């Protein structure tokens, strides 16, 4: 597994081992607060967390406190250091988190009817490739096009499509396949940062291609926005994203006027098809996103999050 570039002893040895080391050194291992310290990546997620924290207050006590970091990897490090307790991550990042000693606590469920159902099957979603209608782009004609990704190492946005492309080309240098693109978290000098928008600043934009919400094309909605605004020819996202960001459901300016019927899905040997036909044209069905935490904190994190869900 590719570990974060800022790997240190906490990430390498694991939370359990480091807890033992701290105990031997008689170092404090955490605070006595009963609240969950939720780690948010970037300003936008931190703002949402702050609102969640306010809404979680009961009897003058908050159930959620917010920490923040610039990247998912930095949040993982904070959880291992016990500076934070939990965060939500993509399926591909769950694997990395596990290698760093963290464990899943809860997973997302995309069917509301199954949330309270006993014996419900494991939650999952479809990784899909979206193109503009009548663009002429098919899976077989992807080479040389511009691509929009949720982020480096993300399941639907990177691991799945690039895995399929590698199996077809036997070449790990994807810069030889796509002309350019936006894959937040890529090397800033890479063609996969060329199409990224950053925070929108005219000059001195340090957010460009960062794997955080400061990069406008980061994440699912960001990758779709990359396609909508013409920065790419194909977006690798989750099957629900087009519907969630069209027909006025997303109040953001960029989503104004977006119509789901103006987009289609492509997949190997099939397509373009309607975005609603994801069950028959997708790249893979993959595990849902999950909340990760330290093993010793799992039960408390689950308890508090389930209480918050009821509210």
179-224 tens-digit pLDDT: 999 999 999 999 999 999 998 877 777 889 998 888 999 999 999 9
Per-residue pLDDT at 71: 85
Q: Is 37 left (phi over 0), alpha (psi -120 to 50) or beta?
A: beta
Q: Which distant-in-sequence residues (6+ apart) come within 8 Å of 182 by Cβ?
A: 147, 148, 149, 192, 193, 194, 195, 196, 197, 209, 217, 223, 226, 231, 232
Residue 53 burial (CB count, 10 A): 17
Mean pLDDT, rounded, of the chain? 87
Instruction: List where CATH 3.40.190.10 sits in the chain.
Output: 9-116+289-309, 124-287
Q: Residue 90: pLDDT band by 50, 70, 90 thresholds?
A: confident
The structure tokens 């918050």 sit at: 308
Confidence of residue 26 (pLDDT cuts 50, 70, 90): low
Domain 124-287 in this protein, CATH class:
alpha beta
CATH code of the domain made up of 9-116+289-309: 3.40.190.10
């Amino acid at each position: 597994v590719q570990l974060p570039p800022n790997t240190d002893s906490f990430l390498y040895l694991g939370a359990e081992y480091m807890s033992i080391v701290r105990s031997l050194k008689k170092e404090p291992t955490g605070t006595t607060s009963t609240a969950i310290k939720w780690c948010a990546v970037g300003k936008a997620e931190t703002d949402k967390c702050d609102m969640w924290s306010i809404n979680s207050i009961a009897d003058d006590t908050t159930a959620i406190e917010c920490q923040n970091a610039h990247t998912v990897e930095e949040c993982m490090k904070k959880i291992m250091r016990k500076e934070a307790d939990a965060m939500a991550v993509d399926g591909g990042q769950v694997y990395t988190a596990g290698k760093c000693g963290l464990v899943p606590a809860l997973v997302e469920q995309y069917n509301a009817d199954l949330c309270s159902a006993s014996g419900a099957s494991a939650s999952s979603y479809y990784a899909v490739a979206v193109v503009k209608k009548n663009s002429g782009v098919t899976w077989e004609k992807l080479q040389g096009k511009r691509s929009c990704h949720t982020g480096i190492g993300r399941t639907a946005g990177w691991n799945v499509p690039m895995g399929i492309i590698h199996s077809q080309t036997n070449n790990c240098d994807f810069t030889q396949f796509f002309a350019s693109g936006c894959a937040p978290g890529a090397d800033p000098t890479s063609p996969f940062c060329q199409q990224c928008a950053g925070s929108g600043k005219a000059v001195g934009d340090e957010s460009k291609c960062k794997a955080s919400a400061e990069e406008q094309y980061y994440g699912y909605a960001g990758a779709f926005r990359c396609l909508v605004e013409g920065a790419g020819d194909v977006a690798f996202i989750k099957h629900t994203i087009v519907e969630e960001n069209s027909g006025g459901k997303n109040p953001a300016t960029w989503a104004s006027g977006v119509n789901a019927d103006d987009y289609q899905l492509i997949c190997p040997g099939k397509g373009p098809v309607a975005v609603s036909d994801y069950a028959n044209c997708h790249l893979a069905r993959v595990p849902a996103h999950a909340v990760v935490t330290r093993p010793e904190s799992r039960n408390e994190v689950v308890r508090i999050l389930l209480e918050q869900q009821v509210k």
